[in-house]
């Protein structure tokens, strides 16, 4: 197929009759880049290639493979394609035919035989109308999803908070962020990423059909749902989270407010909740991937312990669960903490990783590990303080690696180095 010439607006002409197709091309080719095809299915294939690059569609009704009615039905269900104006080019048999085309989204009609002047004028008028509409609507509506834009979001927030009646109503706030979009863009291209964005948006619209829905940009969405009760709002969130299909999902943060008076402030709280949900997603994803590195026997663990004694720095292994209990550690780690033996070290630290880290540093360490898990790094590097037996503090670096073991389940292997006294 001839490649698109970007210096002209592009028209998609779907007409099975070769003579009519040639007539329309001759009328329009001087002004437009015309892509001509013989049936609705081929027209859909072209739309998938050019998308919103198509300025208008000229469509015959009676065609083989896929007729004009089915084509209109198909594109009416798509957020992007339904925005492209369609001019029906046919001899309509009745008012019912015209009514059906209009119901399916047709914007105008050109009746055969063609008058070149009328054809050019109607096509130009339709395109100008669409372009003017886009200039206006792009300030308020996101073209890819049909959701309101960030600009509309701020306008609505201001209007709601300043309206005495609206701001007194209860509202549920949802903040979502698509999981893994960057990986899909890198692996399969931005077209695949756009399809994922559209799929997530459709799920949100289905779960919250009457809510204010916004795409803040990229893969972030906000929903303001003015429900009668928190229970009704929670049920919608459950519906949303059960709609994810295999291979895609979004992190969700939500909050229920008895009034919308401080709406923007509470959207930020929903955003924070969303990031906690996203951290769990990436932790699970990376842990699943790393479980392929499985130590299958107690003998193998003993070999690791033996190697640990030969390392120049501290070495330890701990359970990846809420308790973070130490499984094993080397003699050098005991010395780093200023202990005389393993029993002193266990007593000092409570035999847990949490007990090894300075209390003021622990939350930051957990956050930095989560960030590196989200980046899908194989080794997590963190720095923190430790408190020795004599009360002095040291700054340490540790390099951790997640491993799944047959005997202990999920564990972290950690090498501690670059220890400096403070």
In 314-408, where do the E strands start and end? 314-319, 326-329, 380-387, 393-405
pLDDT at residue number 107: 79
pLDDT at residue number 291: 45
pLDDT at residue number 289: 46
| Residue 383, strand partner residues | 397
The CATH label, of 3.30.930.10, 3.40.50.2300, 3.40.605.10, 3.30.420.40, for the domain at 10-137 is 3.40.50.2300
Residue ranges, the chain, pLDDT below 50: 1-6, 136, 286-297, 421-422
Whole-angstrom distance, CA of residue 37 vs CA of residue 12: 8
Determine how β-strand 250-257 pairs with β-strand 171-178: antiparallel
The residues, any chain, with a CB within 8 Å of residue 21's CB and separated by 6 or more, are 13, 15, 36, 38
The residues, any chain, with a CB within 8 Å of residue 287's CB and separated by 6 or more, are 320, 402, 404, 410
| Residue 215, strand partner residues | 221
Sign of the dihedral through C-alpha 382, 388, 391, 395: negative
Question: 57 with 36: CB under 8 angstroms?
Answer: no
pLDDT at residue number 124: 85
pLDDT at residue number 232: 93
Q: Does domain 150-289 have CATH number 3.30.70.270?
A: yes
| Residue 415, strand partner residues | 315, 399
Question: 54 with 11: CB under 8 angstroms?
Answer: yes
pLDDT at residue number 374: 62
Write out pLDDT tens, residues 350-391: 999 999 999 999 988 888 877 776 666 667 788 999 999 999
The residue among 327, 317, 324, 355 whose CA lies nearest residue 339 is 355
pLDDT at residue number 343: 95
The residue among 107, 103, 40 whose CA lies nearest residue 74 is 40
Whole-angstrom distance, CA of residue 252 vs CA of residue 271: 8
User: Residue 113: is the preceding peptide bond cis (ω within 30°)?
Assistant: yes
Question: 27 with 34: CB under 8 angstroms?
Answer: no
Determine how β-strand 380-387 pairs with β-strand 250-257: unpaired
Question: 143 with 25: CB under 8 angstroms?
Answer: no
Phi-psi region of 351 (alpha: psi -120 to 50; beta: other; left: phi over 0): left
pLDDT at residue number 134: 56
The residue among 100, 101, 146, 120 whose CA lies nearest residue 28 is 120
Coil, strand or helix at 228: coil
The domain spans of the chain are: 10-137, 150-289, 294-421
Buried-state track 143-174, b at ≥16 Cβ within 10 A, e below 16: ebbbbbbeebbeebbeebeeeeebbebbbbbb
The residue among 47, 49, 51, 53 whose CA lies nearest residue 14 is 47
Whole-angstrom distance, CA of residue 327 vs CA of residue 343: 14
Q: Does domain 294-421 have CATH number 1.20.1050.10?
A: no
Q: Give the number of other CB atoms < 10 A from CB of residue 407.
A: 12
| Residue 421, strand partner residues | 394
Whole-angstrom distance, CA of residue 389 vs CA of residue 315: 18
Question: 256 with 224: CB under 8 angstroms?
Answer: no
The span from the first CA to the last CA of the chain, in angstroms, equals 70
Write out pLDDT tens, residues 168-218: 999 999 988 888 787 788 778 888 888 889 888 889 988 998 888 999 878
């Amino acid at each position: 197929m001839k490649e698109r010439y970007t210096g002209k607006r592009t028209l998609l002409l779907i007409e099975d009759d070769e003579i009519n197709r040639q007539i329309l091309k001759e009328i329009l080719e001087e002004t437009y880049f015309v892509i001509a095809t013989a049936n609705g299915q081929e027209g859909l294939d072209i739309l998938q290639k050019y998308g919103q690059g198509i300025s208008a569609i000229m469509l015959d009704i009676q065609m083989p493979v896929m007729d004009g009615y089915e084509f209109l039905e198909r594109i009416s269900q798509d957020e992007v394609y339904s925005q492209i104006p369609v001019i029906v080019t046919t001899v309509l048999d009745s008012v019912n035919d015209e009514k059906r085309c209009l119901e399916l989204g047709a914007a105008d009609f050109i009746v055969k035989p063609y008058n070149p002047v009328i054809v050019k004028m109607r096509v130009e008028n339709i395109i100008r109308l669409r372009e003017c509409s886009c200039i206006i609507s792009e300030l308020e509506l996101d073209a890819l999803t049909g959701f309101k834009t960030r600009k509309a979001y701020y306008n609505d927030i201001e209007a709601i908070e300043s309206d005495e009646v609206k701001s007194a109503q209860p509202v549920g706030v949802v903040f979502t962020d698509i999981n893994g979009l960057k990986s899909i863009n890198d692996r399969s291209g931005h077209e695949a990423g756009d399809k994922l964005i559209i799929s997530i948006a459709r799920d949100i619209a289905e779960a919250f059909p009457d809510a204010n829905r916004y795409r803040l940009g990229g893969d972030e969405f906000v929903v303001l749902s003015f429900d009668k009760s928190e229970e009704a709002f929670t049920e919608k969130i459950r519906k949303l989270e059960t709609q994810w299909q295999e291979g895609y999902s979004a992190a969700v943060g939500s909050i229920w407010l008895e009034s919308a008076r401080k709406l923007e402030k509470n959207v930020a709280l929903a955003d924070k909740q969303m990031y906690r949900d996203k951290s769990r997603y990436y932790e699970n994803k990376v842990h699943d991937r790393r479980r392929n590195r499985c130590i299958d026997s107690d003998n193998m663990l003993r070999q690791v312990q033996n190697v640990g004694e030969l390392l120049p720095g501290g070495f330890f292994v701990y359970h990846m669960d809420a308790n973070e209990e130490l499984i094993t550690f080397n003699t050098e780690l005991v010395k780093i903490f200023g202990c005389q033996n393993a029993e002193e070290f266990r007593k000092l630290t409570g035999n847990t990783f949490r007990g090894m880290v300075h209390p003021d540093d622990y939350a930051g360490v957990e956050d930095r590990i989560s960030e590196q898990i989200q980046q899908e790094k194989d080794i997590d590097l963190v720095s923190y303080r430790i408190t020795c037996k004599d009360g002095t503090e040291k700054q340490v670096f540790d390099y951790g690696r997640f491993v799944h073991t047959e005997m202990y389940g999920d564990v972290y292997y950690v090498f501690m180095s670059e220890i400096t006294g403070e």
